[in-house]
């Protein structure tokens, strides 16, 4: 007879407790508890560097049925600090799978919990906001409840954290262009996903992925036709060095495209503010309206911060980069989902157009970027 998994408990900073069973590695893990609404694509979620420092709750109740494979990882490892699921699959049913989800969580040392009411936790976070939490399993599950809460409350708040160094490459890497070559593209790795690199290479860019601590001289040494800022974890207000670097890029007249964290950093480079959302946007079913076409796209998101900007009409960049407009708006809560500079070749979106787990409504943005870079080259 198969023995039951060891006991585990999820503890939130407000004292809320949920008792379940260990899933993945045994021990203690701490971080910001957030929820992701995708019904599929859990492998891409787990390997997204933007989730560094976060304990991810899957709102879909049944997780793990397709196992894990060698084709879908978005980076070199699992980045989530912890994992919360309601009903883990007992079997793997997919021809591409070569491991189960729980085996991979154990291998990567990711502490998780299963068998708890994830709907209740999601509703609580939607009301109270994302908060610090901890998963305690095995012997740690037996710690005194007050001691567990004390440990959780010692975790740093996500606001104010710069996590780029944790997820970035240490040395530059190069991916060759496919098809008609446009030129070298400098990608600042703030937590870039493999699908993003693949999409950029497919448009004709030779993709140079640079460490997050690169300087403007490092970027110029690539002889780039454009610069790209990736997604990534942390608070954009704690990334002044990346903002300063981006201002140097814009001052050089280089075309720029940013996604997710890159959108927030473009906003700050233009002179706009950023703020923390109550519970963020995470999942692959977020509706966004493209203001230029009126088209509604279903998009993939993973962010807890957003840009402050007027939603209607063009406005002056406070930092002197000409006219700017909000290009995309989130339809759930009117959050700024994209920026477009009107006087310089720069734009960004808050979501993930590579969307490896789907949907692919926003994939056209890579074509828009390639077209902008070609136009900029032709104008010189």
In our burial notation (b when 16+ CB lie closer than 10 A, e otherwise), range 182-220 reads bbbbbbbbbbbbbbbbebbbebbbbbbbbbbebebebbe
- The answer to whether residue 354 is catalytic is yes
Nearest-angstrom CA–CA distance, 233 and 11: 23
Q: Are 260 and 74 in contact (CB under 8 A)?
A: no
* Helix (H), strand (E) at residue 56: strand 54-58
Residues 6+ apart with CB under 8 A from 156: none
Angle between helices 240-251 and 261-270 (to 10 degrees): 70
Query: Measuring CA to CA, which residue among 337, 361, 359 is closest to residue 349?
Result: 337
Nearest-angstrom CA–CA distance, 59 and 42: 11
13, 32, 260, 325: the catalytic one is 260
* Helix (H), strand (E) at residue 306: strand 296-308
Alpha helices in the chain (DSSP H): 42-46, 101-107, 118-128, 145-153, 164-167, 194-202, 216-221, 240-251, 261-270, 364-379
- The answer to whether residue 352 is catalytic is yes
Counting Cβ atoms within 10 Å, is residue 330 exposed (0-12), middle (13-18) or buried (19+)?
buried
Query: In 3-state terms, what secondary structure has residue 277?
Result: strand
- How many Å separate Cα 313 from the centre of its chain? 28
32, 206, 337, 354: the catalytic one is 354
124, 281, 328, 352: the catalytic one is 352
Counting Cβ atoms within 10 Å, is residue 380 exposed (0-12), middle (13-18) or buried (19+)?
exposed
Query: In 3-state terms, what secondary structure has residue 347?
Result: strand
User: What string of DSSP letters covers 128-169?
Assistant: H--EEEEEEEGGGGGS-HHHHHHHHHTSPPSTT---HHHHS-
Active-site positions read 260, 352, 354
């Amino acid at each position: 007879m198969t023995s039951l998994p060891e006991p585990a408990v999820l503890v939130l900073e407000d004292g809320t407790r949920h008792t379940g069973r260990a899933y993945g590695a045994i021990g203690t893990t701490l971080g910001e508890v957030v929820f992701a609404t995708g019904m599929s694509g859990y492998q891409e979620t787990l390997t997204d560097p933007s989730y560094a420092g976060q304990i991810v709750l899957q709102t879909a109740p049944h997780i793990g049925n397709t196992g894990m494979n060698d084709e879908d990882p978005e980076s070199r490892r699992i980045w989530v600090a912890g994992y919360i699921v309601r009903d883990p699959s007992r079997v793997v049913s997919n021809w591409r799978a070569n491991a189960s989800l729980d085996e991979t969580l154990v291998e990567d040392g990711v502490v998780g919990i299963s068998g708890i009411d994830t709907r209740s936790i999601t509703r609580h976070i939607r009301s109270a906001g994302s908060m610090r939490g901890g998963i305690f399993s095995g012997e740690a599950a037996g710690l005194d409840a007050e001691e567990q809460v004390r440990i959780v409350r010692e975790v740093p708040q996500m606001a104010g954290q710069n996590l780029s160094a944790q997820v970035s490459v240490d040395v530059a890497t190069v991916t060759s262009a496919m098809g008609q070559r446009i030129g070298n593209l400098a990608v600042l790795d703030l937590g870039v996903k493999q699908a993003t690199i693949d999409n950029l290479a497919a448009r004709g860019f030779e993709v140079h992925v640079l460490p997050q601590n690169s300087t403007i001289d490092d970027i110029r040494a690539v002889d780039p036709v454009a610069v790209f800022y990736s997604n990534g974890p942390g608070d954009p207000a704690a990334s002044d060095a990346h903002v300063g670097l981006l201002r140097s890029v814009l001052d050089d007249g280089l075309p720029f495209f940013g996604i997710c964290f890159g959108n927030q950093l473009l906003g700050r480079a233009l002179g706009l503010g950023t703020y923390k959302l109550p519970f963020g946007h995470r999942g692959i079913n977020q509706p966004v309206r493209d203001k230029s076409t009126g088209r509604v796209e279903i998009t993939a998101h993973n962010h807890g911060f957003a840009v402050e900007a007027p939603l209607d009409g063009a406005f002056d960049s406070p930092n002197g980069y000409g006219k700017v407009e909000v290009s995309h708006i989130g339809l759930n809560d009117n959050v700024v989902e994209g920026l477009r500079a009107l006087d310089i070749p720069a734009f960004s979106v808050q979501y993930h157009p590579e969307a490896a787990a789907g949907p692919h409504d926003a994939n056209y943005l890579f074509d828009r970027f390639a077209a902008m870079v070609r136009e900029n080259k032709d104008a010189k």
